[in-house]
Amino acid sequence: MANRITLKEAIERIQQLEKENAELRDELEYFKKRKASGRQKHNAKWMNIYNDFVICYENGMSLIEIAERNNISKRTVYRYKEYYDLSSKQIKD
Residue 70 pLDDT greater than 70, yes or no: yes
Q: Which tens digit of pLDDT belongs to each residue from 34-68? A: 766 666 667 888 889 999 999 999 999 999 999 99
Give the CATH number of domain 44-92: 1.10.10
Residues of the chain with CATH 1.10.10: 44-92
User: Across the chain, what does the average pLDDT equal?
Assistant: 87
- 38 Cα distance to chain centroid: 8
